[in-house]
Amino acid sequence: QIAAKELNIYCHPDHNFMTASIPSHRLFVHVRRLVAKGYKVGVIKQMETAALKAAGENKSSLFSRKLTALYTKSTLIGEDILFKYICFQALIFAIWEAILDDSVDVEEVTTDVPDNYLLCICENGGNLKDSKKGDIVIGLMAIQPTTGEVIFDSFRDCASRLELESRVLRLQPVEIILPSSLSDQSEKLINSITSM
């Protein structure tokens, strides 16, 4: 129903659900339009053909379907390209330790910032010695899916989160992935930046 309204196409009941159809060769045109309006678009494809179904043991069951792509503002870069959040998050946490030891300054890498960075922010406040209340080590990882560019950085920040603010404003990400637990100061800053 949402797609029908946004794409100005016909929506009708089909058995137990509503459907709005488009030609499969025009899928990416419509996906781009929905993503431009701020929606996340999942593409579900039928995984079996009629011939496979007839030859298999489950002839009378429904065709199996699977989510094959998820498109957002930062991941919409080509018709057949899918950037998986789960893989991205696994990568972030797998190299978190490396980020803390081998950081690259955001200013060095971002002289010409593309407009669709996907940014992940991690914090580590428990291991700081001689720290003031609110001080924290922050790790950033930004990915530019169209070019494959990866930027990672870690830095110590004070309670006001000035360093975090300057780096996020410099990168201007279109999406930000946050951990399930984020300090109050960082959360307030991210909320203020994303509301602008």
pTM, entire model: 0.52
Locus of tokens 């609110």: 134
What residues contact 21, with CB distance under 8 A and at least 6 apart? Answer: 9
Q: What's the mean pLDDT when you consider all of the chain?
A: 76
Write the CA distances from 18 to 10, 13, 14, 116, 185, integer angstroms: 10, 4, 6, 33, 44
pLDDT in tens, 124-162: 865 545 456 667 888 899 988 777 788 888 888 888 888
DSSP-assigned beta bridge partners for residue 32 = none
Structural domains in the chain plus CATH codes:
1-47+61-98 (3.40.1170.10), 118-195 (3.30.420.110)
What residues contact 35, with CB distance under 8 A and at least 6 apart? Answer: 41, 71, 72, 73, 76
Q: How many CB atoms lie within 10 A of CB 58?
A: 10
pLDDT, residue 103, reads 46
Per-residue pLDDT, averaged over 162-183, amounts to 87
Q: Using pLDDT thresholds of 50, 70 and 90, give the confidence band for residue 88.
A: very low
Residue 98 has pLDDT above 60, yes or no: no
pLDDT in tens, 28-64: 888 888 988 888 888 888 887 777 777 777 777 788 8
Which is nearest to 160 in space by CA: 176, 178, 183?
183
pLDDT, residue 126, reads 56
Candidate from 6-15, 54-63, 107-116, 180-189 with smallest mean pLDDT? 107-116
Candidate from 93-97, 115-119, 153-157 with smallest mean pLDDT? 93-97
Locus of tokens 């830095």: 155
Residue 104 has pLDDT above 50, yes or no: no
* Furthest-apart CA atoms within the chain: distance in Å: 69
